[in-house]
Chains A and B, each alone.
Chain A
Amino acid sequence: MKRIRLGPFNRVEGDLELALDVEAGAVVSARVNSPLFRGFEMLLAGRVPEDALAIVPRICGICSVAQSAAAAAALAALAGVEAPPNGVLAQRLIQATENLADHLTHFYLFFMPDFARPAYAGHAWHAEAARRFAAGQGTAAADWLRARARLLEVQGILAGRWPHTLALQPGGTTRAATPADRIRLLSLLREFREFVEIRLLGEPLEAFAGLAGADDLASRAAGDGDLALFLRAADELGLQRIGRAADRYLSNGAWGLFGPGVCGGDGAVDVLVPSRITEDPHSAWLAGSEALPPARGETTVDAAKPDAYTWCKAPRYAGEVVEVGALARQLVAGQPLLRDLVGRHGGSVVARVVARLVEVARVVPAMEQWVRELRPGEPFCVPAPLPDSGESFGLVEAARGTLGHWLGVRRGRIERYQIIAPTTWNFSPRDTEGRPGPLEQALVGLPAGDGALPTVQHVVRSFDPCMVCTVH
């Protein structure tokens, strides 16, 4: 048996290292190392609670708004306030815009360029993949970045800027949209819809969102959008059968559009009970080896801890290894295409990628509706005075999955702040029971070592990891 160390793993957000034990050309065991420590939970202690709104977006440059939203939700719960309808709509629009931008940045810049690798030369789809997606040269990156910059003008209007806005507050948002803003927002969403329908899907959003099963999806491989190219390559490489993790999925539900819950590959959805979430520092260079609920969690560096191999703790739900992300959200929400894909082969590279695109197709029409529902002249924000002491939490869905902030306040200052980010779930290490995290499970059995195809690269990136969030 041979141990391979893979890194730096680029085209993920942040730094990532894999240690793979390989025998006869296949992975028998994987360890995922998040090699950067950031310490935001320590940084937040001692500040006034509202300072979290300025600090937490800076945990992550790609899901900055989701971090803001989690802090705002925790503070709103502590204050016992609810944002007025305009504030709710504006918060949803700001979060959903980030979600769309992240999903397609993943597809265009992080995930697809692997199909342009020389290792695939000779495949029927390779020349087209290279022309569109070769890193640094492909035509798709500029197409996407032009569309992305226009989409993010939604943030310019509603949130001032992206990333790192202070617009999301516990009582709503700081920028009241004007009648002119509503018209501009609709125009920007129309432009984005056009990009997705023409360049990516090759059909109307509603048609793609309505696909019922794997056979419907397979018929899309004949199209001329970027999705079709992905489907042709993925089908030939068998990526619909590769990348299965624990097949247990968790979603907090998002924006009144997708419901919350926990489900397996069969689609039966259980109620999500936040108090069943724990975090286990067993394999992390952090003190302690007992799984604790995050409201009691600690973050204390222990760099010399024996057998630790990452800066990432291991979150578990009711003791189980679970996967989060767009696939989890869509499965919990009962989307038929994803249920069918996962029913056939479990969570896979194809299921994760398609889940993001289905989500894009479902979210854009909802955003168009939310903009129409904005009522300029009515309030966007209410005051949210905080009690002197108390505990609360905020759970939201970032693009990459469920994000939780647990807050303890004493005498007007933050006493404890614990964060569980989406990739903390997905790239978690072994827990006290020795159970590997989702990616660690998904990598087992894949080809690796000299001359192996870049299959490991596809599986890792299918999770769309955000390492800077992971190690907050």
Chain B
Amino acid sequence: MKLLWLQSGGCGGCTQSLLCTAPRPLPDELRGAGIEFVWHPALSQESGDEALQLLEDCVEGRRAFDVLCVEGAMLRGPNGSGRFHLMAGSGRPLTEWVERLARRARWVFAIGSCTAYGGLSAATPGNPLEACGLQYDGDTPGGLLGADFRSAAGLPVVNIAGCPTHPAWIVETLEKLALEGLAPEDLDEFGRPLLYAGQLVHHGCPRNEFYEFKASAAKHSDLGCLMENLGCKGTQAHADCNTRPWNGGGSCLKGGYACIACTEPGFEAPGHPFQQTPKVAGIPIGLPADMPKAWFVALAALSKSATPKRVRDNAVEDHPVVRPKVRKAAR
């Protein structure tokens, strides 16, 4: 399976994250699964005219490729001209290259939340960059390719959302595709592969015990649950960050800071400070997915009243000050 990769209005962080593929390094992992790059801006030798010729050959069907991976938002401005990103050497807007190549691709992958939904590139007030995703403008279907776009294999754009994406979200989706194809039912309502977006970030959260008892962190570096005060959206964000480790064993929550729901359309403009939980009458506005408000309020009150001292005390420290009790005395 052959991949063609382009970058535009983004930070390149999804490629940098992809290069963290482990335990097998990316080249070995992909080769083993029969996947290769036709061209990748950070990895290939071809530069300048050679690269342009290669891309033109792909557009004209003289050179075969299967998956078009695009990384970065589509910058349509100023005034629809696409001049905020003319692909170097070509004088043509990158949006035009993407449109022409998408017609040839059997599958189109949006790598990262910018590419999927617009992301931070679209977050400037008034969106002067006229930035959008490949098939979404925020949470609204449309974007550069339009709501009705289907690639040659009959699928809408596959949105590997995340800011950045986890390397395995990309690699596993590609390997699934190479193994047995992708069907519409493999994707969720926002085009994200269910193999990682079928869960919540909350699942496997290392702060689970603090969450259960609503023992909340009050300030940065505290061990407690980050939902009540520090802006955590792990109970609403679709991704498997706490069951699939980042960089060996990490995650945002393990790193001590809030999940800002970077796999969700519109995460970049939450309407409140990222690291503060918006509340009404002391109750967080964003409640856990699938949880009726009255239940949450009742359970929260009950669990707060039943919080063990160990959990309550440790929640507001950066290291455990009370250890779990050892029940059995040594003989």
Contacts and interface: CB of A to CB of B under 8 A. Distances in A.
Interface in A95-147: 105, 109-110, 113-114, 116-117, 134-136, 141-143, 145-146
B25 A146 contact: yes
Interface stretch (B59-67, B173-181, B242-250, B297-305): B242-250
Nearest to A133: B45
A42 interface: yes
A222 B219 CA distance: 55
A71 interface: no
Contacts, number: 265
Nearest to B42: A11
Contact of A15 (B87, B123, B124, B246): B87
A321 interface: no
Central interface residue in B11, B25, B47, B260, by most chain A CB within 10 Å? B11
Interface in A158-179: 158-167, 169, 171-176, 178
A222 B40 CA distance: 34
A50 B89 CA distance: 39
B128 A160 contact: no
Interface string B231-265: 00000000000000111111111111110101000
Given A35-B88, A37-B85, A175-B255, A160 B246 contact: yes
A457 interface: yes
B186 interface: no
A48 interface: yes
A134 B45 contact: yes
A8 B48 contact: yes
Contact of A39 (B12, B22, B128): B128
A36 B255 contact: no
A372 B253 CA distance: 25
Contacts of B12: 13-14, 60-62, 468
A381 B252 CA distance: 17
B110 interface: no
A377 B256 CA distance: 15
A60 B11 contact: yes
A134 B16 CA distance: 20
- Range for the number of chain A residues in contact with chain B: 35 or more
Contact of A145 (B14, B27, B246, B247): B27
Interface in A172-202: 172-176, 178
Contact of B43 (A62, A136, A157): A136
B17 interface: yes
Contacts of B46: 10
B221 A157 contact: no
Central interface residue in B28, B41, B258, by most chain A CB within 10 Å? B41
A51 B220 contact: no
B212 interface: no
B85 A156 contact: no
Contact of A61 (B17, B43, B124): B17
B84 A153 contact: no
Given A8-B88, A136-B37, A163 B7 contact: no
A33 B11 CA distance: 18
Contact of B78 (A55, A301, A381): A301
Contact of B42 (A6, A13, A157): A13
B106 to A, nearest CB: 21
Contacts of A175: 221, 254-256
A319 interface: no
Given A142-B27, A145-B26, A301-B78, A51 B256 contact: no
A318 interface: no
B13 A176 contact: no
Interface string B129-170: 100000000000000000000000000000000011000000
Contact of B47 (A10, A53, A301): A10
Contact of B221 (A39, A174, A457): A174
Contact of A148 (B19, B40, B41, B124): B19
A8 B250 contact: no
A163 B167 CA distance: 11
Given A136-B44, A157-B248, A165 B220 contact: no
Interface string A1-40: 0000111111101111100000000000000010111111
Contacts of B262: 164
B27 A141 contact: yes
B221 A379 contact: yes
A380 interface: yes
A161 B255 contact: yes
A10 B48 CA distance: 8
A379 B248 CA distance: 25
B42 A109 contact: yes
A162 B254 contact: no
B316 to A, nearest CB: 12
A39 B124 contact: yes
A166 B123 contact: no
Contacts of A161: 246-247, 250-252, 255
A50 B275 contact: yes
B86 interface: yes
A462 interface: no
A61 B14 contact: yes
A163 B16 contact: yes
Given A5-B89, A136-B37, A142-B25, A160 B255 contact: yes
B282 to A, nearest CB: 21
Given A301-B78, A303-B83, A136 B249 contact: no
A171 B222 CA distance: 13
Contacts of A36: 8-9, 75, 84-85
B182 interface: no
Contacts of B247: 149, 152-153, 155-156, 161-162
B13 A42 contact: no
B43 A8 contact: no
6 tightest CB-CB pairs across the interface, nearest first? A160-B255, A61-B13, A7-B88, A7-B89, A156-B250, A174-B256
26 contacts: A9-B89, A10-B42, A11-B41, A11-B43, A11-B44, A40-B120, A45-B125, A51-B273, A51-B274, A60-B13, A61-B16, A109-B19, A146-B22, A153-B248, A153-B250, A160-B253, A160-B256, A161-B252, A161-B255, A164-B13, A166-B255, A173-B256, A174-B256, A303-B81, A377-B319, A383-B220
Given A159-B255, A165-B252, A166-B258, 18 more contacts: A10-B51, A37-B84, A37-B129, A40-B120, A42-B128, A50-B275, A61-B15, A110-B42, A135-B45, A141-B27, A142-B25, A143-B25, A162-B20, A163-B17, A164-B164, A166-B257, A166-B274, A176-B256
Interface of B: 7-17, 19-23, 25-28, 36-37, 40-48, 51-52, 75, 78, 81, 83-90, 119-121, 123-125, 128-129, 163-164, 219-221, 245-258, 260, 262, 268, 273-275, 318-319
